Amino acid sequence: MAQLSPALKQATPVLAQRGEGVYLYDEAGRRHLDFTAGIGVTGTGHCHPRVVEAAQRQVGTLIHGQYTTVMHRPLLDLTERLGEVLPEGVDSLFYMNSGSEAVEASVRLARHVTGRPNIVVFHGGFHGRTMGAAALTTAGTKFRAGIGPLMPGAVVAPFPQAYRYGWSEEEATRFALRELDYVLATTGPVQDTAAFLVEPVLGEGGYIPAPDAFLQGVRERADRHGILLIVDEVQTGFGRTGRFWGHDHAGIVPDVVITAKGLASGFPLSAIAAPAALMEQAWPGSQGGTYGGNAVACAAALATLDVIQDERLVENSAEMGARLHEGLRKVAADHPEVGDVRGLGLMQASEFTAPDGEPDAGTAQRAHRAATELGLLLLTCGAAGNVVRMIPPLIVDGAQIDEALTLWSEAVTSAC
């Protein structure tokens, strides 16, 4: 009898049978408040009627219009629509299926355009599990250990992790930018560097927003040295942080935007966007794949954009995110085990710290488990697994935020 590989590690024991809005229902009919959103994917909630309708219609029309063979209308329409939400001029798109694939596509593009091999990544970043993306991932050894040799050309610079260093954001930013200059002057020469690759909020690495001044400083260095700035918006894009893109907070314009997760409400779809002048330098045929830009996924993405716009989900993300943040701070105020609460929009986290300042994964894991038992689904993150994150769907309302906070308070109390 066949069985699922034990290589799959799950955050909860829930056997999901059906999803509706912010709730998942298991096979026993129990309701779970889903503050994981499938790792930040179902921004429009589970099975949003408009997404369901668009996907069902497309399934009956054309499922697989293989894009290196034929073109299809949903792909053309989605490209036009994404042009409306992408930064001006960053409007030439290519599609894949997953975040990792899109990260690798952006590396291919950057290497083609610049003729340089190196990609500078920032310590704690997560960019995926495929072999190229894993080489660029420094969020934990579990993503890298035992699978080498990894792709050469990844150069690591510090990310301004203010809480970890025990510094202010200004001090951490100054340090990280100075060290970036030092890396370029020592281990990763400018003339060998194709791109900087950065998450606007460190995701798997611990939910640490990049200070605006940091992203601005990286942009300035990219301009100065002729290095491309690739922003990995796989987790932060599509309204997650309370702006459409995570980099919007810093007011910068990237050279390449990577998007996935929230793009298609759960259908596998990812994309890279760059100015046409850059894309034109990629070798024709250098990007592609069997399933990229699937017609059903594109139809779902179009409906996702409609829902985000019509239901003002970016604004809701900012408002509900602020409410969640404030509530998490109140819980933390009663529990010294929670050393830090941080996040942007509906990407919020609580970091557990022991009295000696070391990461407290034990309490974090207990709180996470207690929340699951209470019917609140959450995820952990951070290299030590001591950060509990909340990523609810962008459709979440105030009552649901308050319900989650009540359950969270109970979970933390029982864990501490």
Chain residues in the site for ligand PMP (CB under 6 A): 39, 98-100, 103, 126-128, 199, 203-204, 232, 234-235, 260
Measuring CA to CA, how many Å separate 206 from each of 164, 358, 386, 415?
10, 15, 9, 20
Please, what is the minimum distance in Å from the beta carbon of residue 111 to ligand PMP?
A: 18
Alpha-carbon torsion (209, 213, 218, 223), positive or negative: positive
- Nearer to ligand PMP by Cβ, of 232 and 351: the residue is 232
Residue 100 CB-density burial (10 A; 0-12 exposed, 13-18 middle, 19+ buried): buried
- Nearer to ligand PMP by Cβ, of 44 and 235: the residue is 235
Please, what is the minimum distance in Å from the beta carbon of residue 240 to ligand PMP?
A: 10
- Nearer to ligand PMP by Cβ, of 272 and 411: the residue is 272
Q: Please say whether the beta carbons of 103 and 176 come within 8 A.
A: no
Please, what is the minimum distance in Å from the beta carbon of residue 234 to ligand PMP?
A: 4
Q: Please say whether the beta carbons of 100 and 260 come within 8 A.
A: no
Beta strands across the sheet bearing 92-96: 92-96, 270-274, 256-259, 228-232, 193-198, 118-122, 154-157
- Nearer to ligand PMP by Cβ, of 158 and 339: the residue is 158
First to last CA, the chain: 42
- Nearer to ligand PMP by Cβ, of 103 and 222: the residue is 103
Question: Nearest 5°: CA angle at 349, between 196 and 399?
Answer: 130
| Rounded Cα distance, 212 and 344, in Å | 12
| Rounded Cα distance, 403 and 33, in Å | 9
- Nearer to ligand PMP by Cβ, of 22 and 347: the residue is 347
Q: Give me the residues paired with residue 388 across strands.
A: 350, 380
> Which three-class secondary structure state does DSSP give residue 353?
strand
- Nearer to ligand PMP by Cβ, of 172 and 263: the residue is 263
Please, what is the minimum distance in Å from the beta carbon of residue 197 to ligand PMP?
A: 10
Nearest residue relative to ligand PMP (C-beta): 99
- Relative to beta strand 379-381, strand 376-377 is unpaired
Please, what is the minimum distance in Å from the beta carbon of residue 192 to ligand PMP?
A: 24
Please, what is the minimum distance in Å from the beta carbon of residue 247 to ligand PMP?
A: 12
- Nearer to ligand PMP by Cβ, of 90 and 184: the residue is 90
Nearest to 196 by CA among 246, 141, 243, 136: 136
